[in-house]
Amino acid sequence: MGLKVAKFGGSSVADALQINKIKNIIANDEDIKYVVVSAPGKRFSEDSKVTDLLYLCKTHIEHNLPYQQIFQVICDRFMAVKVNLGVDVDLTAEFAEIKKNLEAGASADYIASRGEYLNARLIAAFLGFDFVDAASMVRFDEKGKFMEDLTNKTIEKELSKHEKAVVPGFYGAKIDGNVKTFSRGGSDITGALIARAMGADVYENWTDVSGFLMADPRIVKDPKPISTISYKELRELSYMGASVLHEDAIYPARIANIPINIRNTNKPEDPGTMITAEPAKLEDGQIISGIAGSKGYTVVNVCKTGLSNEKGFLRRMAGVLEDNDITIEHIPSGIDTVSAVLSDKAIDGRLDEIVESLQQMLKPDHIDTSDNMALIATVGMGMSSRLGVSATLFTALAQAGVNVRMIDQGSSEMNIIVGVENKDFETAIRAIYNAFVK
C-alpha cells in the first residue's frame, strides 16, 4: 500500500458541498493518509475568501473601525459548514477565543491562520481523521525564518503517531509559540513539507483546474493540458506567471523526489498534471512544455565603450539596484552594453532616481530605458536538443508583427525569454503557441 498526501485548496473546501466531494475522493483512495486543507475560498466569482475577511477584521481593528459584522460573516460561513456536514465541533467556543485574541491585539498572522485552523477542525471531524495542528509541527525561528530541518523532523515525529490526519495549511509557529504564516497560497507549501517528511509516494494538490495548461486560456483558446512536466520547467513557468501551485511548494517535493500531481476536485476523473524530476515526456513532435509570461517590466540599457574590459562594472550596477531594494530579473549583455530587466512593481515610480544613481556610479556613455515591457518564457527541456527552435520562435513573432525588444536564453537551454512591448503580449503568446503546438 502506498502513502499519499492530499492538499485541498480554498475552492475545494469552500462549503459543505465541496467538502463532500473531497470526502468521496479520499474514500476512494486508501493511500491518502494525510490531508492538508486551506481556509474556505470563493464559492462563486464575487464571493470573498475567508482569509481575506480575516485580514480585513485585523485592519479594521487597527484603524479603530467596527469589525464585528465582518467577523460575523466568517462565523456564519463556518457555522453553515458545520450544520451541513453534521459534525460535532464546538465552534462557539472557538469563535469566542478568536474574538478575545483579536481584541487583545493578536497578530495578523494569527488571525489569518484561523481560517485554515477552523476548516481543518471541521473536516477532520467529518472524515473521522485526527486533527493535528500545524503550529505544533511547522517551525519558524524568532525572526520568522522558516526552519526546514526542525520542521521536517517534527512533522515526521508527530504525524507518525497518527494513521490518518487532517492538518491546517498555511501556518506554523515560531519557537515562542506565536503563529506565523507563509505567504499567500502557502497551504501548498505545508502539503509539500508533509509529503517530504512522511516520505509520500505522491503529493496530490487538489484545486479547481485539471492541472497546467500549455498557455493561459484567457489568451490562447483551448490550450492543451500539460500531462507531465519536470520541476525545473515548472519553476520557469511559475516564475513567469503560470500560477496554480505556490512556487515554494516545489522545493520540498523536489529534494525528496516526490512527484506532485495537480488534480481537479470538480473533475476527479481527470488525471491532471504530474510534476516529476525527469524531463517531461513530450508527445511526438512536441518541442515545448509551455509558455508563460507577464507584463509590467522596464529594461534599463547601460552603454559604455570598453565596458567588457572594465572590472567591477556589473558589481557596481547591481549595487545601485540593491541599494534601491530592487532585484534584477534578467541581465542580457553585449560587448559595450549591459541591460537590466526590472519589474515595475520593484521600481515603484523611482526610475529617474535609479538612472541618476547609475549615471553617477558607472559613468556610462548613455543610459536608455524601455518601459511597458512584457516578458514571455517559452519553456521545454526538449528545446536544447532540437535545431531551429529559435528560428521557429522568431519567425512566428516576426510574422505576427511583434517587435522583439530583448532576448535572453537561459544557459540550461530550457527556455527562451523574449521581451516585447506590453501591447504585443497576447499576440506574441498566441504566435508562439501556434508555431509550436500542432
Binding site for ligand ASP (CB under 6 A): 10, 38-39, 49, 51, 115, 169-170, 184-188
- In angstroms, give the least distance from the CB of 90 to ligand ASP: 23
Closer residue to ligand ASP (CB): 9 or 211 = 9
Cell of 84: 451541513
- In angstroms, give the least distance from the CB of 12 to ligand ASP: 10
Rounded to an integer, what distance in angstroms lies between the CA atom of residue 253 and that of residue 51? 25
- In angstroms, give the least distance from the CB of 357 to ligand ASP: 36
| Cα angle: 37, vertex 43, 46; to 5 degrees | 130
**DSSP H helical segments within 8-147, as ranges?**
16-27, 50-62, 68-85, 91-103, 108-127
Q: Taking the mean position of all CA atoms in its chain, how far away is CA 111?
A: 22
Give the residue from 258, 144, 242, 207 showing the smallest Cα distance to 250: 258
- In angstroms, give the least distance from the CB of 7 to ligand ASP: 8
Strands 415-421 and 366-379: antiparallel
Closer residue to ligand ASP (CB): 39 or 195 = 39
Rounded to an integer, what distance in angstroms lies between the CA atom of residue 142 and that of residue 129? 32
Report whether 230 contacts 250 (CB < 8 A). Answer: no
Closer residue to ligand ASP (CB): 196 or 430 = 196
Task: Please measure the distance between the N-terminal and C-terminal CA atoms of the chain and give it in whole angstroms.
Answer: 40
Rounded to an integer, what distance in angstroms lies between the CA atom of residue 173 and that of residue 179? 4
Closer residue to ligand ASP (CB): 171 or 425 = 171
Environment class of 124 (CB within 10 Å of its CB; exposed 0-12, middle 13-18, buried 19+): buried
Closer residue to ligand ASP (CB): 21 or 224 = 21
Closer residue to ligand ASP (CB): 110 or 425 = 110
Closer residue to ligand ASP (CB): 165 or 192 = 192
Strands 290-303 and 337-343: antiparallel
Helix axes 148-159, 187-197, angle to 10 degrees: 70
Rounded to an integer, what distance in angstroms lies between the CA atom of residue 210 and that of residue 213? 8
Residues 6+ apart with CB under 8 A from 403: 420, 421, 424
- In angstroms, give the least distance from the CB of 181 to ligand ASP: 8
- In angstroms, give the least distance from the CB of 170 to ligand ASP: 4
Closer residue to ligand ASP (CB): 145 or 184 = 184
Closer residue to ligand ASP (CB): 184 or 267 = 184
- What is the residue type of 424? D
- In angstroms, give the least distance from the CB of 55 to ligand ASP: 9
- In angstroms, give the least distance from the CB of 54 to ligand ASP: 9
Report whether 121 contacts 131 (CB < 8 A). Answer: yes
- In angstroms, give the least distance from the CB of 224 to ligand ASP: 27
Residues 6+ apart with CB under 8 A from 390: 409, 416
- In angstroms, give the least distance from the CB of 113 to ligand ASP: 9
Closer residue to ligand ASP (CB): 37 or 374 = 37
Rounded to an integer, what distance in angstroms lies between the CA atom of residue 148 and that of residue 135? 14
Closer residue to ligand ASP (CB): 48 or 227 = 48
Report whether 37 contacts 166 (CB < 8 A). Answer: yes
Cell of 63: 484603524
- In angstroms, give the least distance from the CB of 205 to ligand ASP: 10
- In angstroms, give the least distance from the CB of 74 to ligand ASP: 12
Rounded to an integer, what distance in angstroms lies between the CA atom of residue 173 and that of residue 155? 13
Give the residue from 100, 425, 412 showing the smallest Cα distance to 291: 425
